[in-house]
Each structure stands twice: as structure tokens, then as C-alpha cells.
Amino acid sequence: MSNTIPGFAEFAPQLDVPHQELVSQLENSSGLGVSLLDPSELYHFPDSHLPSASALVFLVSDCPGIKNATNLIDGLDYAPEADIGMPLRSRDRIELILLLIESLFTDHHVSRLCIAFSDMDQIEAVIKTRQADLRKTILEDCESNIMPPCSIYDITAD
């Protein structure tokens, strides 16, 4: 099983920070892995959910230097003695991703963000929501599905 969290962010106005610098800032502030991704690696994203040429295309992972989000979105609560390098409760790990998404909207003027929680890059649903509802929407989807939910969250700024 290979859980992945690919996505892209579009900005209004255009971002004045180089993409690599922004992903480094996001990685440092979140403690998660955040790396640039080639748009061609947004596997199974429908044509209606592909980034513009100026979008930041990224991948979120368990920690810097790796590509998978195995623990972030596996849906498991680990025993207290487990050492996975992040919170042991599944919901707490999803919170880390939500904080990262929210920071993109509040600190970097994202106008639209599409992000997928997937197993083997499979996409089964596209869920549209607004910034104000992103937390509720993503948590409800994660709690009502076997993790990862294989959903793209298409989030627009308020």
C-alpha cells in the first residue's frame, strides 16, 4: 500500500516567492514532508482538476525526504508505545494536514487548492468545498470511509 497526498495551489495575486522556497517554508513550519511535484504526476486527477501553469504542484508526506504518506492517512490509532514520529491518533495526524492546508489559505493567499488523499494514486470522488468548510468536509469524509478515502478535495477561498 502506498498512500499519497498530491495536490496543487493557485494563488491570487500570483505568488512572489519561488515555489521551492515556499515548499521549504511549509516543510519547516509543519514538520511534514512537502516537496515539489511535476504536474504530470497528478495521476488520475480529472481534466477539470488540473493545475494552471503558474500553480504550485506539491506532494505531502510523512516526513521530509520521502514520498509516501503511509502513517498520515492510514486511519490507524497506534498504541502508546509506538514510535511513528508523529501523533498516534489518526485524527491528530489528519489535523497536521489540515493545519498545512489552512496556512496556505491564510498566509499565502491561495485562491484554490486541490489535494488528494489516496491509496496507490486512485481517485474515487471529487469533493468541492469552501475554505470555511474544509476542516468539517475533510474530517467527515475521512471518518466515513476506509482510509485513505481516495478523494480529491477541491477547496476555494472564501
Alpha helices in 31-133 (DSSP H): 90-108
Query: What is the value of pTM for the model shown?
Result: 0.95
Answer yes or no: is pLDDT of 119 > 70.
Answer: yes
pLDDT tens-digit series, residues 1-27: 589 999 999 998 888 899 999 999 999
**Of 86, 112, 111, 97, nearest in space to 26 by CA:** 97
Q: Is residue 131 over pLDDT 70?
A: yes
Predicted local confidence at residue 16, as pLDDT? 85
Q: What is the Cα–Cα distance from 112 to 101, expressed in whole angstroms?
A: 11
Q: Is the pLDDT of residue 145 over 90?
A: no
Asked if residues 73 and 100 have their Cβ atoms less than 8 Å apart, the reply is no
- Per residue in 83-100, pLDDT tens? 999 999 999 999 999 999
Give the per-residue pLDDT at 79: 96
The per-residue pLDDT for range 24-81, each reduced to its tens digit, is 999 999 999 999 999 999 999 999 999 999 999 999 999 999 999 999 999 999 999 9
143 has pLDDT over 80: yes
Annotated domain spans of the chain:
3-156
Among candidates 153, 6, 142, 136, which has minimal Cα distance to 69? 6
